[in-house]
Every structure is written in C-alpha cells, then in structure tokens.
Amino acid sequence: MTDVSQASKQSSPSAGGEGFDVAKLLLEGRAFFALIVIIVVFSILSPYYLSVANFLTMASHVAIFGILAVGMLLVILNGGIDLSVGSTLGLAGVVAGFLMQGVTLTWLGVVLYPPVWVVAVLACMLGAAVGLVNGVLIARFKVPAFVATLGVMYMARGLALLMTSGLTYNNLGGKPELGNTGFDALGFNRLFGVPTGVVVLVVIALIGSIVLNRTAFGRWLYASGGNERAAELSGVPVKTVQISVYVLSGICAAIAGLILSSQLTSAGPTAGTTYELTAIAAVVIGGAALTGGRGNIRGTLLGAFVIGFLSDGLVIIGISSYWQTVFTGAVIVLAVLLNAVQYRRRSKLPASTGGQPTSQKRGKAEPANPAQGKTAG
Amino acid sequence: MTTASGTEPATGDAVLSARNVVMSYGGVHALKGVNFDIHRGKVTTLFGENGAGKSTLMKILSGVVTPTSGDIVLDGNLVSFSSSSDARDRGISIIHQELSLAPNLSVRDNIFMGRELRTRTGLDFAEESRQARALMADLEEDIDPMTLVEDLRLGQQQIVEIARALSVDSRILIMDEPTSALSATEVEVLFKVIRDLTSRGVSIVYISHHLEEALQITDYAVVLRDGSITATAEAKDIDLEWIVRNMVGENFDLGSPPTGHAFGEVALSIKDVCVTDASGSGYVVDHLSLDVKAGEIVCIYGLMGAGRTELLEAVAGRVPMAGGRALLEGEDVSGLTIAQRIARGLVLVPEDRQRDGLVQTMTVGRNLSLASIEAFAKGLFLSRPRERALIDDSIRKVTIKTAGGHAMIGSLSGGNQQKVVIGKMLTTNPKVILLDEPSRGIDVGAKAEVFRLLSERAAQGLAVIFSTSEVNECLSIAHRIVVMRRGKISAEFGANATKEQIMAASGEAVVA
C-alpha cells in the first residue's frame, strides 16, 4: 500500500538517498510504534492478552471503529467532519432490526420478511441517504460541516428512538421458514478463522486505499482538501467530491451498524453513541490533519487498532472503565501534539521557504508583498 | 533636483529612519538595504510600483514585521519594535492598505478596538462614543458611531480606518493607500486633516498610486524600486515626469513580441461582459468587449481595482457574469463550469498562487498533473507511468528547478512555484490562457523566463492574455496593450506605446 505520506517522505533534503533518521522514523511511524508498545506492555501485564483468540476478539471490536474511521478519513481529508456517524450507525441497526421483524403492509394485509441481503442493502442505502443530506447541506447550502452533521446526528438518533419507542430489537435471528435467517453471520461467522467483521474492514480498507491512491476521485479528494480554491480552478468538481465523501461515510456507518447489531444480536436505538468521536480519534492518531489534505488509510487503521487494543487491554488487566476513558483521552492529545510537531518539522525542511501548511489561510493578508505567504512560518 | 543613491546620512529633521534595512522572505529580497527618513512635521511620500517593497518598508517601520537586518532609529536612538502595539505605544500608527476592521462591530468599537476606554466597572462607552463622534466631525463624515461597519460603503469604511489611526494621537502616522476608495471630496477633507496634523507637528508617511494627488499633499518624495531607494527629492523640485521616470526605471529586457507567425482566427471573444462589484450596486467590469486571436499576446494594464482580476475570473468561470458572453473559438462558454472550460481549452492562472494556484499539501508533480488527470487515467484508475511521463515532460518544458516531481511544493522558490501553476495549465494543452499578474512576487530572472515561455507557446498558436500592474511588463512580449480603468477599456496600444501613454490611460498619471 503506497500513499501520500510516502511521497512526502521522499521530499526530505536527502531526496533520492534513504537517510536513516531515528527521530523522524519514530515520528512518522508513531501509530505503528504505539501499537507495538501497547501489545508488548499488555502481554507482559496479562498472560491472556497475547493469544490469537484474544487478538481476533479485539480485532472484531476494532472492526466497528475501523470501518467508521475509514469513512471519517475521507471526510477529514476533504477538510470536513462528520459527527453523525454514531447516530447513523444506530439508525441503520434499528432499521435492520425493524426489517427483520417483518414489514406489515396493512393495506395489502401481508407481512413481508425481506431476506438478509436485502436488509443489508436497504440499511446501506439509508446510510447513504443520511450522508447525502449532510453533503447537500454542506456543499450546496454552505452549512458548516460541524453544525450540519451535528444536527443530522440528533435527527438520526431521534428517529432511531422514535422507531422503537426507545426499546431494543432482540430477535434478529429470523426464521428458516421465512427465509430471512443469517443476520448473525456478520457478527459470528468466520472466514478462515477470521471474524466476518474484520474481513469486511479489510475489504473496505483495501477499496478505500485503491480509491485514494489510484483513482481520479482520490486525487480530487486530496487536492480539494489541501486547497479547495486551487482545486476548483484546476477543474476539480469540488462540490461532487464533497457530497460524495459524506455519502461514503454514511455507508460506512451503516455497514458498521449492521456488524454491531449482529455482534450484539440486538439492535438498540442508542447503539453507537459517541462512536463518531472514537472514529475521529482514530483518524487523528493515524496522522491525518483536521485541516484536510493529509492522511491515509494505513495510518487510520493503525489509529483504530491503537484505540481498540488499548481499551481492550485495560479491560483485560482489570482497570476501571473510568481510567480507560482517561487513557484514551491522553492518547488522543498526545497524537494531536505529535501531528503538530510533524507538520511544523515538515514545513521547516525546505531550506529556502517555509510555512506552506498555513500560508494559504493567510495568503490574502498581504497581496502587495512580493513573498507573500512565506511569512506565515 | 537630486537623484541621490539613497545612502546619505540621517538629516537632523528625521524623526524616524530606516538604516540599511534588508528584508528577505526565503530567497526573495523584498528590501535590499534601504535608508529612509520620515521628516518631522512633514509629509513624506513613498512612490513605487506594486511589489517595489513599499508596504514591507511601512510594516517594518510600524513594528508589524521585524527586518532581516538593519536598524530603526527613532529620535536619534536605535530602537526595535516587538510588535505593532509596541510601536503604537511609541507614537507610530499605520493605516493599512487593506482594511483591518471587524465588520460585525460598530464604528465606535472598531475605533477603540484593543485599547478600550475603561471605567472602574467596565467600559466607558459614553466617552468612546463622544470621541468617535468628534473624529467623524473632524473628517466631515456623517456616520453615527453605533453604525455597524459592514453597513458602510467601502469609502466610509476607509474613513473609519483613518479615524482609528487618528484617535491614537500618534506622532508619526503612516498612510498606506488611504484614498483608494475615497471620493474626491473625501480626499479633500483628508488632505485638510493631514495639513492640520502636520501643523501640529505630526509626521506623515503617505503612499498612493494616484501620483498627482500625492504630489499635491507631499513635502518630500522618495522613490522605491525593486527593494531599493532610487531617488529622493523635495516636492517643490520635482514633477510627475520625474516620479514616473524614477519609479519605472530602465527597461530590464523582458523580451519582445514574438514575430514570424501569423495570427489565426479569433480564439477568445469577450462580448459586453459585466461583473457586479461586492456591494452588488455597480459594475467592476462594465460592458467590456475584447477579441484575441490565436497566437496573439495581449497585455491588460490597469491600477488596482480597475477590474482586471474580475474580468479574467469571469471569463474563466470563477465568478458569474452579470451580463455578456465569452466565446471560445465561436462557442459560447459563458454557462459552462470551470472544468468544462478547461476541457475546451480556456484556462486561468490565478493572481494569488498560494491561495488559488497551489495545493500546498501535495507534491510538485501532483500539482502539475492536477488539471489533466484525464490524460493519464486508464478507465477507472490512474496510470502512474503515464502520469510520471507527463510530469517529467512538464518540468522540462516549463524549466522548473526542482529535485523532481516528488518534491513538496513548498520547497520551491516563488518563481518556480509560479512556473508550476503555469505549467499545470499549459499541460492541459489550452487554446487560450489567461494569466492574472503572472509576474507577481517573482524575481526578474524568473519573470523573463515566464515571458519567454509564453511567447514560445504563442508562436505555436496559443492565445495569451496577461494582466499586470507594471508598465515595463506591458512593453515586453505583448503584441497589444489594453488599458483598463474603472471596469472599461480606456485605451488600446500597439507594442510601440510609451510608458507615459499607458500610465495616462490608466488614470495613474496625466503627463501633460
């Protein structure tokens, strides 16, 4: 998997020759090293941590956050934010649960029991629709992403609660005679011993990586996230890109919702509460910049694994869940701190000029200045 | 009449002086060892073209930026300002070229922003209002202090900016283009205020593109060109011609119009194009028509605010046209998106390359290939070998000095960054290229290279339209020079026009 951060590594002064710089390596690969440290520390602290079975269990937990985080990465690369994914996850789960109970069409006097694949497709379409609402609000009506997705977050959560009157669908198994069994496959089946959820995460990550690195859409996304005005003047359909990332994020949330309800064998309207924040944290720990244009799938996956393996490790060694919250928060702050260090370093690397990450924001300040934009560093 | 080298020692009446001040941004020298005196109780005017370094010098003298090297002498003592408020505390204030008002606040709150008058329990709004009203009376402007700044027209906002600087009671007042949005009567009032201030011992530095206007009010004239002082004189000894001659200087050879190829058909036809201004009440581009043939190079000259940028952006599809049409080889492109116009061969190189031209988070190569992704897409996917070939080809043709396509864009010098922006658009194989101030902020060598590149492409049939605010650049590769003034074409010249003719048509200077 090659990506943008590799390209930028080559831009160091020693371009061409692979210089060995320990500090730089630690900084660039910090999520990876953090993950190794977490695994080593918990393996020492608990005899149960370092086992294939435990890793697969933890990985299936990570799958939920990982899938959300991939969608969130696309949005953050565009310079936006999607606070609605947790609610979309919950709403998609509830809708799936509702469909599994059978849809009563009163005017026809029949009860429809859609097969599981239809349920899954409908749930994904719902996620896409929620994303479309976000995207249109943001791209066409210029509502700030934070506010638009915050509003949609409440609406989706409210709809999920309305649909079930706050209750949970506990029977998702379906009946063989109705031909709608198999919902638990997403949560419990294994492919070559790997939980389905993890397989789905891997597939989504691979697709995401190909889209980001090998397609015009990926290039458009990096360009419009890095500098929307320049991208637009270069003929990039910035609005289409912007709407698309929210739709894709919504679909990712719906998929995560299906997997979570399957794992829990129940679909509750409050599922996924605050998961959007975990997804954002994973993306940030993975080295993406909230200002857009920087980040990649590999980092985001590592970020998701850091959070997942850390919190599961704390559970295994019996630390209270309150402490888990504190630790997770500390990791996020540290990650953002290191992001700031990294981008500052990067902007200092070119000898003759500096400050490009911030200069586009300030570019307008002094048009008469012959070297404008370079003062920002 | 003196045309000093600018190294003369400080005279006794200098209240604030710059001594051998150098300012470098990266590799670009904005100021190259400048000696500048502000005369006590007089008006000193700084003349110079865009990019000569006037604003940079003023920012140094008012503490906004710190010079790379050199000294600042205040009342005979060496000083260094830690910030603009430090300078303000020492009696130096500046009216910036761009308005620095908060549009959501009232006139009163803007005037006292950052140095609010306090009582023991809070802010002294009554006293602030009283002072604000008195300032408005001095400036003979009927503005209620409680009006929100966003509700004022631009000229009135400029008055508020001036009032804010006056309210500080500074000893030294720097005015960077204070009159660009003012009406003639407002300018008269401002001049009355300036005379009143100087009679009270306040020293004024004045910068204006309206040379005649500046000549009326000034006591001393100083000319800055390419970061160096080229001439100083007392106002009574000089005339407009002297200023123009020293401002523009000798021609650096930026090339000559390419010959030996016949122009083709009309490539771009602009018909009656209008663009509304920010307030929506008037036109910044006013029913303007212009035809450019394939292979022809047209230069659009005009002062700031003449409507050049708006014209080019409207033709490129960046801002909507309020009226009129743009035809590309006879096809109306007015309703098309930017992407569709690029696909048909109409491209724009924007004025501000940091803000509109480059994606700073991407490499040189990806910036170069951004506008021509279709050229190396194979079905759904991008072909890396084809992209690399395209990038390498582009780097070679546009002669970009870089470690390679994988280098980050920020590692390049200003001139090479500009070549990336131009190269990006040339890679799309356009028929018409619009360039908005392509020479801004790049050194003279890079300028010459950019112009050479454009004239090569014109010889191959590309229609080139570039705008500039430097007269020298009009008289380089352009076959035709179009002067814009207040949204209209005020004159058209051939390649043999003189600087004086061009500047006169732009409204900059009427040389008798």
For residue B353, what is the DSSP state? I
| A-B C-beta contacts closer than 8 Å | 181
Quote the pLDDT of residue A109.
79
Asked if A320 is an interface residue toward chain B (Cβ–Cβ < 8 A), one would say no
pLDDT (tens digit per residue) in B332-391: 999 899 999 999 999 999 988 888 999 999 999 999 999 999 889 888 899 999 999 999
CA A331, CA B369: separation in Å to the nearest integer?
A: 38
Instruction: Give A-chain residues touching B411 at CB under 8 angstroms.
Output: 11, 349-353
Quote the pLDDT of residue B456.
92
Looking at the predicted structure, is the pLDDT value of residue B212 above 50? yes
Reported as a pLDDT band with limits 50, 70 and 90, residue A27 is low
Instruction: Give A-chain residues touching B404 at CB under 8 angstroms.
Output: 15
pLDDT (tens digit per residue) in B84-138: 888 888 889 888 877 788 889 999 999 988 888 888 888 888 899 999 999 888 8
**Residues paired with residue B221 on neighbouring β-strands, in sequence order:** B45, B233
Looking at the predicted structure, is the pLDDT value of residue B27 above 70? no
Find the CB nearest B406 among A15, A292, A364: A15
User: What's the mean pLDDT in A108-127?
Assistant: 89
User: What's the mean pLDDT in B131-157?
Assistant: 87
Instruction: Give A-chain residues touching B28 at CB under 8 angstroms.
Output: 370-371, 374
CA B288, CA B484: separation in Å to the nearest integer?
A: 9
Pairing of strands B381-382, B377-378: antiparallel
What part of A 235-264 touches B (C-beta under 8 Å)?
235-237
B429 CB neighbour count, 10 Å cutoff: 11
Q: Where are the alpha helices (DSSP H) in B96-235?
A: 107-111, 125-138, 154-167, 184-199, 211-217
Three-state SS for A190?
strand
Q: Do A353 and B412 touch (CB under 8 A)?
A: yes
Q: How far is B66 from chain A, CA to nearest CA, in Å?
A: 11
pLDDT (tens digit per residue) in A256-284: 999 999 998 889 999 999 999 999 999 99
pLDDT (tens digit per residue) in B39-82: 998 999 998 876 678 888 988 998 888 888 899 998 888 888 88
CB A44 within 8 A of CB A286: no
- What pTM value is reported for the model? 0.78
Looking at the predicted structure, is the pLDDT value of residue B503 above 70? yes
Q: Do A227 and B360 touch (CB under 8 A)?
A: yes
Pairing of strands B220-225, B228-234: antiparallel
Looking at the predicted structure, is the pLDDT value of residue B330 above 80? yes
Instruction: Give A-chain residues touching B363 at CB under 8 angstroms.
Output: 7-8, 11
Instruction: Give B-chain residues touching A359 at CB under 8 angstroms.
Output: 354, 360
Instruction: Give A-chain residues touching B352 at CB under 8 angstroms.
Output: 363-364, 367, 372
CA B81, CA B62: separation in Å to the nearest integer?
A: 8
Nearest CA among B318, B320, B319, B284 for reference residue B302: B284
Query: In this predicted structure, which of A20-34, A99-113, A149-163, B219-233 has the lowest mean pLDDT?
Result: A20-34
Q: How far is A135 from chain B, CA to nearest CA, in Å?
A: 20
Q: Do A368 and B51 touch (CB under 8 A)?
A: yes
Closest residue in B to A232 (Cα) is B338
pLDDT (tens digit per residue) in A342-366: 766 655 444 333 333 333 333 333 3
Instruction: Give B-chain residues touching A223 at CB under 8 angstroms.
Output: 359, 362, 366, 370
Nearest CA among A93, A73, A233 for reference residue A156: A93
Looking at the predicted structure, is the pLDDT value of residue A18 above 70? no
CB B439 within 8 A of CB B447: yes
Looking at the predicted structure, is the pLDDT value of residue A1 above 80? no
Q: What is the DSSP string of B285-351?
A: EEEEEEEEETT-EEEEE--TTSSHHHHHHHHHTSS--SEEEEEETTEE-TTS-HHHHHHHTEEEE-S
What part of A 7-26 touches B (C-beta under 8 Å)?
7-8, 10-11, 15-16
